[in-house]
Amino acid sequence: MEAAIRKDLLEEISVEITSAKHSGYAEKISKLIEQASREPHTGLALRSPEYLLEKINAGQAVIALTSSKELCGFCYIESWQHGRYIANSGLVVAPEYRGIGLAAIIKRKIFKLSSRLYPTALLFGLTTSEAVMKINTQLGYRPVSFSALTSDEQFWAGCKTCSFYDVLERTGRKNCLCTAMLYKPPIEKPGVS
């Protein structure tokens, strides 16, 4: 399909914060993540429909749908150490909607939602994707070492379903194929509005 025609696709797509009305998509999103995780060089942890359903119902996710309600993309919020660290995880765009700027729109929306729900949290991400590194950089994330991320065991346990987990284990969690990126919210000075 020609690039201009593909870009027009974006006008037909709405990117929304999820609510219970999107609960019927949990299964499809889980499958989309699973399919994407099998693509070469993609480090993507699997997520069960039940887990995604919790995020969807809690309004802690963003979904992209066509005007005919076909699923095009998704991302959700995870929080660690009592909300001190936040990750925007599970970013996925269906193959037929890639390369038109949809991931950038989804990421901007979930970034804003995360900043609203957790204004003082450190936002971090782990990614093998050059596209995601570009988007994160535009949002103000910077590359960091793995030691700058959350130490919450549950977060690292989430990497177990990634196909590169053996690398993470071998390096004692110091390195993997993913690049770690961190966004620090601006510090508000007392009395300055």
Ligand X SMILES: CC(C)(COP(=O)(O)OP(=O)(O)OC[C@H]1O[C@@H](n2cnc3c(N)ncnc32)[C@H](O)[C@@H]1OP(=O)(O)O)[C@@H](O)C(=O)NCCC(=O)NCCS
The residues that touch ligand X, with contacts defined as CB under 6 A, are 36, 39, 42, 44, 91-93, 98-104, 127, 129-132, 134-135
Question: What is the distance between the alpha carbons of residues 157 and 161, in angstroms, rounded to a whole number?
Answer: 8
- Give the residue among 153, 109, 77 at the shortest CA–CA distance from 13: 109
- Nearest distance from C-beta of residue 187 to ligand X, angstroms: 27
- Nearest distance from C-beta of residue 117 to ligand X, angstroms: 20
Question: What is the distance between the alpha carbons of residues 108 and 156, in angstroms, rounded to a whole number?
Answer: 25
Question: What is the distance between the alpha carbons of residues 148 and 139, in angstroms, rounded to a whole number?
Answer: 18
Beta bridge partners of 182: 124, 142
Compare residues 148 and 177 and give the one whose CB is closer to ligand X.
177
Compare residues 27 and 192 and give the one whose CB is closer to ligand X.
27
- Nearest distance from C-beta of residue 105 to ligand X, angstroms: 7
Compare residues 137 and 154 and give the one whose CB is closer to ligand X.
137
Strands lying side by side in the sheet with 179-183: 13-17, 61-66, 71-80, 85-93, 122-127, 179-183, 142-144
Compare residues 16 and 188 and give the one whose CB is closer to ligand X.
16
DSSP 12-77: GEEEEE--GGGGGGHHHHHHHHHHHHTSTT-------HHHHHHHHHTT-EEEEEETT--EEEEEEE
- Nearest distance from C-beta of residue 28 to ligand X, angstroms: 14
Compare residues 100 and 168 and give the one whose CB is closer to ligand X.
100
- Nearest distance from C-beta of residue 190 to ligand X, angstroms: 36
Compare residues 98 and 184 and give the one whose CB is closer to ligand X.
98
- Nearest distance from C-beta of residue 25 to ligand X, angstroms: 16
Torsion of CA 46, 108, 121, 149, to 10 degrees: 50
Phi–psi pair at 55, nearest 5 degrees: -65, -40
